[in-house]
Chains A and B, each alone.
Chain A
């Protein structure tokens, strides 16, 4: 449960390259979820105080320190991104907390230009940045081919409506849990 605040800001963040085929699935899902959601998802009573939860939607093609900078000021963040594990059918959602991921790239190459998100968050927190305590990751299984296109592959396109519904359900469910 997130701390009792008068206003809680939740960020629904689509990650990926919007012109790299299935890598854009995070963007496309978030754009659709935004269309289907109202700006203020709901209001709830907590300990007799009224708490309003605001949803914001963004899509970025960044990682590491840039990503961390864009998470400042939010209480709760959902990152929706493409994954490629070869372990699940295309369109399968894999849900984890960021803390479930091992911070492997410590000191090395998440990128030649950047740092891991975990390292960036630690950097941000060390200087007092107002960063979310919890970050949820929704990975969507894809078969990324690294070929430029602004369209999804046929298998992913077919599962797209279901993926959007599942993501909306997950976010709503988590919101209810947070505020219960």
Chain B
């Protein structure tokens, strides 16, 4: 007979995240027996799309999520291009990538300063009332807050100039865009780009000083608690360099061997989805490797799709400063070894390298002679059928696949959203952190709970699409139950 279990529940009740819940089951001895990370599914999106013109998808899908509408807008636009078999003009491609770089700059800034930063600047065990961006400001200086807000404002300005709206862009259509940019706008974006490069370098220096300069944090990053050896996925250009907007998807094994690259239309040959009885969400895995359960290693098809995996799956960055940081990253973490890092907290560092890359791309694209060309749209002439569009969302590879009838009316939709790629590794990371931190006789503390949260916060997960949270809801609760399920103690995040 199995030993009775005790249960700890971490319950982030929030509409933005779709009521996610972590349950940690303890055995009779008080050690972790298993963990479950559950996310309720938002239902009916495919049916909602069927019967609509495919050109509406870029507007419609960016309403799925309030966190990364730009990513859905881009993937949908690329899928619609593919449905109509239209090659968009170079200027349109550059404008879309410029918009996307502005979005990346905003998104990565927010994650580092609002979410990752407090763990490191304030420390994982700092009082909960201080472990937030306000704590960071108090510790590092008021000017940090101003810079973060300015960074977001600048990124939004780029999105608005090209995308027509600052939150939910609407200008990408099959064949390109509905509008270009003026010379005045180009100059403004170029100016923003230089500011963004300085800000990204400042952020990397901050990470260097506060995190890499602290042995305790370096030990935390390089320790076993947050280590998993899985496959890495990321989009690369024709030279195998990181690209967020266009290219093939590169897959690298845990030992650094590149096992292949696939074009968007080939994704079904590479990705399969595993169903587990305890969750509505499916677990994508590498079809050619196979599903072996929630385990590490080259024989397990589990992969991650994060800033870290994008660096692992590439040969570097196309921009000079980001390339220098890329080289420093691997020289520091895996000196003399294949360029593949598995320490999940290193995702934060990789994210900052991507921040710098995005900033440099803003400058590169804003100074491209073609960027103000009026040739930003090509009228599709082919009969629409089926198409796949893929971009790298900040939190993972985003795939949109549409089928239409001959009029371009959607008949079927399949999406693999960024974080879904990471559902298996996030679940594994939560379990490992819990196993490492919670043992028989352990009193579960606030700091310990935060360190379990850190296991999935590194991935920047986004499972929900309800897009906002009315204030006043309880975001997190831990219930420790005895073997009969009776609550022994409740830990919640009330101040």
Give me the interface of A with B, judged by CB distance under 8 Å: 15-20, 23, 60-67, 69, 81-83, 98, 101-119, 122-124, 126-127, 129, 137, 139, 144-150
Contact = CB atoms under 8 A, between A and B. Distances in A.
Nearest to A70: B167
Contact of A112 (B17, B43, B66): B17
B476 A113 contact: no
A127 B149 contact: yes
Contact of A123 (B60, B137, B456, B467): B137
B351 to A, nearest CB: 12
B146 A127 contact: yes
Contact of A113 (B42, B45, B115, B453): B115
Nearest to B16: A111
29 contacts: A15-B468, A17-B465, A19-B64, A23-B15, A61-B69, A63-B66, A67-B468, A81-B470, A101-B472, A104-B475, A106-B129, A106-B495, A107-B493, A109-B12, A110-B475, A112-B461, A113-B115, A114-B114, A115-B114, A115-B132, A116-B469, A119-B134, A123-B134, A123-B145, A126-B134, A129-B149, A139-B470, A144-B466, A146-B18
A56 to B, nearest CB: 15
B365 to A, nearest CB: 24
B475 A61 contact: no
Contacts of B133: 115, 119, 123
Nearest to B122: A107
A65 B137 contact: no
Contacts of B470: 15, 81-83, 137, 139
Interface in B103-155: 107, 110-111, 114-115, 118, 128-135, 137, 142, 145-146, 148-149, 152-153
Contacts of A126: 134, 137, 142, 145
A14 to B, nearest CB: 11
A26 to B, nearest CB: 9
Contacts of B131: 107
Contact of B471 (A20, A111, A118, A144): A118
B14 interface: yes
Interface residues of B, number: 66
B465 A20 contact: yes
Contacts of B63: 17-19, 61
B462 interface: yes
B278 interface: no
Which 7 A-B residue pairings sit nearest by Cβ, starting from the closest? A101-B472, A63-B468, A148-B48, A61-B467, A111-B16, A101-B471, A105-B475
A14 B69 CA distance: 18
B40 interface: yes
B471 A148 contact: no
B474 interface: yes
B471 A103 contact: yes
Contacts of A106: 128-129, 132, 493, 495
Contacts of B44: 147-149
B265 interface: no
B462 A113 contact: yes
A17 B467 contact: yes
A61 B476 contact: no
B457 interface: yes
Nearest to A63: B468
B281 interface: no
B467 A16 contact: yes
A148 B43 contact: yes
B454 to A, nearest CB: 11
Contacts of B167: 60-62, 66
B493 A104 contact: yes
A66 B183 CA distance: 28
Given A61-B467, A113-B114, 6 more contacts: A65-B110, A69-B153, A107-B130, A108-B453, A113-B107, A113-B460
Contact of A104 (B43, B64, B472): B472
Given A62-B66, A147-B42, A109 B468 contact: no
A137 B495 CA distance: 22
Contacts of A60: 66, 167, 468
Contacts of B495: 102-104, 106
A117 B16 CA distance: 13
Identify which of A23, A101, A127, A150 gathers the most chain B CB atoms within 10 Å of its CB.
A127
A15 B18 CA distance: 16
A102 B492 CA distance: 13
Nearest to B128: A107
Nearest to B494: A104
B67 interface: yes
A147 B86 CA distance: 33
Contacts of A119: 132-134
A107 B118 contact: yes
Nearest to B18: A146
Contacts of B442: none
Contacts of B456: 112
Nearest to A116: B471
B168 interface: yes
B42 A127 contact: no
B473 interface: yes
B467 A63 contact: yes
Contacts of A108: 12, 128, 450, 453, 475-476, 493
